[in-house]
Amino acid sequence: MDSDERPRILAQYKRFQTNDEGRKTFSSIDQIKTEASVERIYDRYEQLAALDASLPKLFRVDHARYLQHSLERLPSTYESLDSSRPWIVYWILNAASILNLRFSHELLDRVVDFLVKCRSESGGFGGGPGQDPHLATTYAAVNSLCIIGTDRALNAIDRPSLKKFMWSLRESNGAFRMHVGGEVDVRGAYCAISSAKLCSFSPEDEQKLFEGTSNWIADCQTYEGGFGGAPELEAHGGYSFCAAAALMLLGGEHRCDLKSLLRWTVNRQMAYEGGFQGRTNKLVDGCYSFWQGALVPIVQGLIARKEGKQSIMNVSLFNRHALQEYVLICCQRPSGGLIDKPGKPADLYHTCYTLSGLAVAQHCETHSPPVVLGDERNEVLPTHPVHNIPPKAALEAYRYFIELEQPGSAREEEQNNGKATMEDPMDVGSENESDRQSSSHMSEDSSSNYTSSRASEN
């Protein structure tokens, strides 16, 4: 049965198009061009929808093929991201989990082997084998290993050295550098806190490691209401997400103006295009479907916790239908992959975060049935709004590491034994074509719920 939810009639929203009042700027010119490209896409969609009532449609199989090929062998255009290879792994795995696509155990084992090669002796993960550790790629690697979810994957996270690495990046005021000698910004705090939570650092370790961090994050809030990367910087969607998500995990929201943050966030949704922009007077971008879309329920949760008003969680404070329209109608490549905006090429970053935004738009009210635009087959699986991995994967990782805290536990023995088996891992980019083909099979099951690899082995 199809959903009753249908896209807006865009002609009714023309009053929200930009009026430069006869004074053109670079920003207004780009904005008007973007609106024109969106209008062309919608005009074509309306004609096609008159012939095919199943539209808009999620190109699930095409995106699956795109992700499969990318995990096996990247095109040369990704050479510039050689220092971000754990990110590439994460973008693929998380997008696949949202689409309910499962890679073979053999291929996932090779991914674990590759990430072990990225693990630094000094703690954390680098952007590739032999590269210096960095908090951003550590976050991506930890998330990837939690998504895979096998004991072997979780054993690849060396928590003692990870703690030492985080301590080496901590500033006296509670802020974190992205790498030794690197920049200080709110991404560092979020990446450290998210990884520590997933790895179940003890409350004592957390209290010491993140002493003063929430106060420093609060100092990053701007007069607009959003958060900048550091104190005195411009409010930005990505940084605002990092700040709010970190506070959701750490606490300390009482020092922030949450209603101002909420007002700034909901006003970043574009009335005409339906998607979100990242900053004031910037263009719509598919990736902010998650950064801003997930920020809304996170801020609602912070307000509920601060003021004791759970009723704020019972209503959506952004247009969930319009966001799904932008993603499904304007951001899909028929050949696979998702994009920033019409006219842009597909890439793995936007594929991951645009699909993540689609998941948030459908599932952000956990007490209610999902809101799915168009055919019910457009439904994707939920993502954790704070960690952006499958909620079940986050819970299972947390429980796994909690068990490791028990003296003499079976988990602890398995981890110690498992480290010996990963001293000489196989590179995920192996040139052995027969090995690659034999381990590359991926299954699609759009009707069943997500289960981690570890759960399917039990």
Whether 78 is a known active-site residue: answer: no
Whether 20 is a known active-site residue: answer: no
Point out which residues pair with 442 in neighbouring strands: 103
- Catalytic residue of the set 272, 288, 349, 353: 288
Which H, E and C letters describe 128-146, residue by residue?
Answer: CCCCCECHHHHHHHHHHHH
**CB contact at 8 A, 222 and 257:** no
Q: Quick one: which of 144, 139, 130 has its CA closest to 97? A: 144
Give the Å distances, CA to CA, from 248 to 190, 242, 302, 354, 398: 10, 10, 6, 22, 16
- Catalytic residue of the set 158, 185, 219, 285: 285
CA gap 167, 163 in Å, rounded: 6
CA gap 185, 171 in Å, rounded: 11
Tokens, residue 289: 């479907």
User: CB neighbours (10 Å) of residue 17?
Assistant: 16
Residue 240 identity (one-letter amino acid): S
Alpha helix positions (H), 234-368? 237-250, 258-266, 288-291, 295-307, 320-325, 348-363
Tokens, residue 231: 């104190």
Whether 146 is a known active-site residue: answer: no
Residue 216 identity (one-letter amino acid): W
- Catalytic residue of the set 109, 185, 219, 340: 340
User: For the purposes of burial, counting CB atoms within 10 Å of the CB of 456, is it exposed (0-12), middle (13-18) or buried (19 or more)?
Assistant: exposed
Whether 109 is a known active-site residue: answer: no
Beta strand 101-103 with 442-444 is antiparallel
Cα angle 47, 59, 137; round to 5 = 135
Q: Quick one: which of 237, 235, 127, 220 has its CA closest to 176? A: 220
Whether 132 is a known active-site residue: answer: no
Whether 344 is a known active-site residue: answer: no
- Catalytic residue of the set 187, 350, 387, 411: 350
- Catalytic residue of the set 8, 60, 105, 282: 282
Whether 285 is a known active-site residue: answer: yes
Q: Which H or E run contains 103? A: strand 101-103
**CB contact at 8 A, 197 and 139:** no
- Catalytic residue of the set 347, 364, 450, 454: 347
CA gap 431, 85 in Å, rounded: 17
**CB contact at 8 A, 389 and 383:** yes
Whether 435 is a known active-site residue: answer: no
Whether 45 is a known active-site residue: answer: no
- Catalytic residue of the set 146, 256, 287, 352: 287
Q: Quick one: which of 283, 284, 278 has its CA closest to 242? A: 278
- Catalytic residue of the set 119, 152, 236, 454: 236
Active-site positions? 236, 279, 282, 285, 287-288, 340, 347, 350
